[in-house]
Structure 1
Amino acid sequence: MHVAMIGAGYVGLVSGACFAEFGIDVSVVDKDPAKITALKQGRIPIFEPGLDELVKSNAAEGRLHFTTDTAKAVNRADAVFIAVGTPSRRGDGHADLTYVFEAVREVCAALTGPTVLVTKSTVPVGTGRKVAALAREVRPELDIAVASNPEFLREGSAIGDFMRPDRVVIGTDSERAQAVLKRLYRPLYLIETPIVFTGLETAELIKYAANAFLATKITFINEVADLCEKVGADVHDVARGIGLDGRIGRKFLHAGPGFGGSCFPKDTLALVRTAQDAGTPVRIVETVVSVNDARKAAMAERVIAACGGSVAGKTIAVLGLTFKPETDDMRDAPSLAIVPRLVEAGAVVRAYDPEGMAQAKPLLPAEVVYCRDAYDAAEGADALVVITEWNVFRAIPPDRLAGVMTGRVVVDLRNIFDPAAMREAGFAYSSIGRA
């Protein structure tokens, strides 16, 4: 079988490489010649554990190809996946489908025979019908089946999520599309992965509902963490106590500075707008969006308060900039709200992130100093803030930290340190959701 993947971004590149690992011939298309050239040379434009080796091995085996030529890629494709960006539209929060429809037009114009057109991008309910109508408009003489196959990839563990998913969701009204996608996902069927076949609208809504629910769990435990601090409870024990209930589950119950990334912020907002347009507002999700935005902004004030109410002239070490560990993604990262506020308040910020500093530089104030490692960032610092829970930070000995810092304030927004050990080392230590 042959697949064309339109878009060499996070979803397209990971999905394309994983399909190639299944033994499928995959052509990944992107309009950026520099990106395609880099991929052909084995240079991966994003950081995702294991992706470089997966791309290298499948390219060497001749199963994975990179091109800017859409016509060449889709010419013999059994299925064409649309995996382009759907960012929030400026002004109203709706998903911007400009790239999706541009890709559909270009693909349909280039087709020489029937195919299955699959939306892999996260798109609002009703997009599949619009894609089908557009395909008929561009190529009325061709039998182009349309399907929705949303992705559920977590940055930092995307390859495992693709190869061993909780489920695969396929939405289509076409028996032909269903048959083609069954063949593509046959390796997962053989390991008894649940495959949910449903309609276009349902598949599209499953993606948004799943992300909104997970974002709600994060926001819920963050608010519980605030209550824990006031009443003397421990949010870790609360999360474990409720997470062991099979109806709730333990995942996404980790208190912190708020969610970010490429999916949750834009998808929750898009679901809110879709529901409002349909006349059935999702009040819980609306609250999740507003509470999360406020929380990220409030974290800087927490740091300032821990420093005695002012950070003017003080050196603040910041550990972690990306929205989560094991990625270089800075989209909607809490650091984008916290660091500029500290700089605005007069702090000298010394930052270190294992993978995200190149991506962070254009997004953060020019005054930020980027460091070689965590100890370099902490050198001479009056206070230290943990924003992203990279494993390398968990292993930092408190006494060594005390040896390089001038001050003794640590604000741990990810609860990676042992409070007793930090206090024994002489730190005024504060964390999230612990008395």
Structure 2
Amino acid sequence: MSKNDQATAAAPPGSAVVVTGQDAGRVAFAAFVGTALEWYDYFLFGTAAAIVFNRLYFTTLDPAAATLAAFATFGVGFAARPVGALIFGWLGDRIGRRPALLITVVMIGAATGLIGLLPGYEAIGVAAPLLLVLLRLLQGIAVGGEWGGAVTLAVEHAPPGRRERYAALPQVGSPVGTLMSSGVFALVLLLPSESFDAWGWRIPFLLAFPLLIVAVYIRRRVEESPLFDEMLKQDERAKVPALEVFRTAWGRLLVAMASAVLGVGGFYILTTFMISYGADTLGLSRTLMVNGTLVAAVVEIAVILVVGRMAERLGAGRVTLWGGLATAALAFPVFWMVDTRNPVLVVLAMALGIAFLSVAYAVSGALLAELFPARLRYSGVALAYNLAGALTGFLPFAATALLDVGGGASWPAALLLMGLSLITALGGFLGQRMRVKDNVVAA
């Protein structure tokens, strides 16, 4: 750790901040609701890009080019996430965690709902795909600020020694969002194709409006972080938090990114790429592969909740280390099981892969939050997570390209997953030794 990194590790001076378990539970639940809405909206777009947007918004292109254009629009969200981290990191570290999180949840909910109202190409011409890209851009910016703020608020309200438990709740938002979006789309796909194309696909997006009202109501009842209130009293806020992270805490940023890459990039290898590999290369039913991801999402919820409790005794860094090593060891067996084409083994492999990956993901929020001092925490956490996402969001495409190298065999993808796992294990090992201790006590 550099001298600059050591300088940033000091906790805020002054009297200890008092936190209570009752507040922590309420805040963590509010963080969970927001992240569940966030991932519901985010995953909806990916599904629609594959089956709707290519036909209704890029109608002048041939089918293959239209699909590529739709997925390119999907990718805009990843590119926009670091921008959101910069914007809302500044807002969260300067103005407050609570107002930043209210804005992000409104932005993503409104953008998603408006997609459900957006006319197709036949109605308004080239304005349709342009507006679709704009709304996806807004989604990405909002997501870039949402998760980091939710984790920061949950951690800073939690009593010492119980942060891992409460920081795990926002992580549950990802599998819950997956189940919600997949479930709603599965229902509207039961409609006749004409009805689905005309209005049915819009229903999942329009549901974002009532969900947004619920999320805003819950989040408005959450108080500001006690640590941020103390920083306001002592006027210890950073002027340009992101700049200070890059200048004085770049070592911590790199460790945080390393610890997060498996939970982001590994997830897309075991879901997005695995569905494509199973259906297109192995000839398995796409329904089977999608159902495998749903089973895996249910398993992921249980793993996150259990591991969040375990990490209170072991430490988030150690759990990340062992989770990364275990996933690395399982990388090849998971793909070997899928290669058997046995439906039971395929679903079991996807569930096992996500379960082991979720060990590190469960404590990612707690580990990242404790790598940065309170005055830089929102920016540091958001930047680390979203830069990791931007760097690994293309991995399903890379894994698909590597299939040609292996002659259609799965070993290059398994090797890629193993590499990500070992990087995260290293991040956990270093992160355990670089944690910041806040000056807080339990009531």
Normalising by structure 1, we get a TM-score of 0.28
Higher strand share: 1
- Structure with larger RCO (C-alpha < 8 A, sep 6+): 2
